[in-house]
Structure 1
Amino acid sequence: MLNFIDQNSSKQLLSGEGWRVGFRGDVDVYKGLVGADSWAIELTESEFKDFCKLTLQLVDTMRVMAIELSDGEKICCTLETEDICLEVNGYPHAFNLHFQLLTGRRSEGFWDEMAVPHLITAIGFFKT
């Protein structure tokens, strides 16, 4: 479920059960937002772009690995930049996502396998 997006506005927030992601082009420092039901953190534009890019790269990796794994085999993949580290863990068709900010605020967050597909779809709405 997508709660709010206005392509004509500089403010975009998408959310659903267990996830939320947003971007505000009209603020100076913390333009991005990622979170779940009980937590959220604002990200710089660079951190947000890295978050989106790495998430989509990990999704592609999981798709590719699906043909290499036997039935019931789980996999863990990690990607990072100077600012952020993302990790997926689970089956190619159902995995969780964990992130850590590596500089500044040094935060981390987690989405379970039920929220991840919706979060991935929402990331596609943001032009990064």
Structure 2
Amino acid sequence: MARLLKTGSGWRIGWDSSAPKFKGLVGADEWAVELTEAEFHDFCRLLTQLSQTLQHTAGELMDEEKIACELESSLVWLEAEGYAHAYTLRLMVSSGRKAEGAWAATAVIGLLQAVHTLDVF
């Protein structure tokens, strides 16, 4: 697979194995940032871990109770905020160049599903 781009309402994610440095791409409708292979891998891993953490926590929360949870590596930082079933997502890239982005709660489910279907590693 040389190039892959998946998009949905409020999100996009891509991979270009032939790119010399920035092989990954994440973004929303109004912004996008290219990521190195390591940053992209960390983004996917941390997003999956955040989702699992929120699913496990859902049983401990009342329906109207919100939660904030963050995870980070030396390359990227992610924060989920909202309800266990519907939360916004924020990203900060902290290696080399700096970048920030966010996804609306309505976009996170599609983004998460796309991450689970990627087979780039």
In the alignment of these two chains, the number of paired residues is: 120
In the other structure, the counterpart of 1:77 is 69
SS for the counterpart of 1:115 is helix
In the other structure, the counterpart of 2:80 is 88
Alignment of 1:1-128 (within 5 A): 9-127=1-119, 128=121
CA shift at 1:10, angstroms?
1.3
User: Any unmatched runs of 5+ in structure 2?
Assistant: none
Whole-Å Cα distance in 2 between the matches of residues 124 and 71 of structure 1? 27
SS for the counterpart of 1:59 is helix
Whole-Å Cα distance in 1 between the matches of residues 61 and 54 of structure 2? 10
CA shift at 1:103, angstroms?
1.8
CA shift at 1:66, angstroms?
0.2
**Higher helix fraction (1 or 2):** 2
Identify the structure with bigger relative contact order (alpha carbons < 8 Å, sequence gap 6+).
Answer: 2
Whole-Å Cα distance in 1 between the matches of residues 40 and 95 of structure 2? 13
Could you tell me the TM-score, scaled by structure 1's length?
A: 0.91
Measured against aligned partners, the alpha-carbon deviations of 1:69-122 in whole angstroms (never above 9, x if no partner) come to: 112000000000001000000000100110101121110100010000000000
SS for the counterpart of 2:117 is coil
User: Any unmatched runs of 5+ in structure 1?
Assistant: 1-8
Displaced runs of 4 or more, over 3 A: none
SS for the counterpart of 1:105 is coil
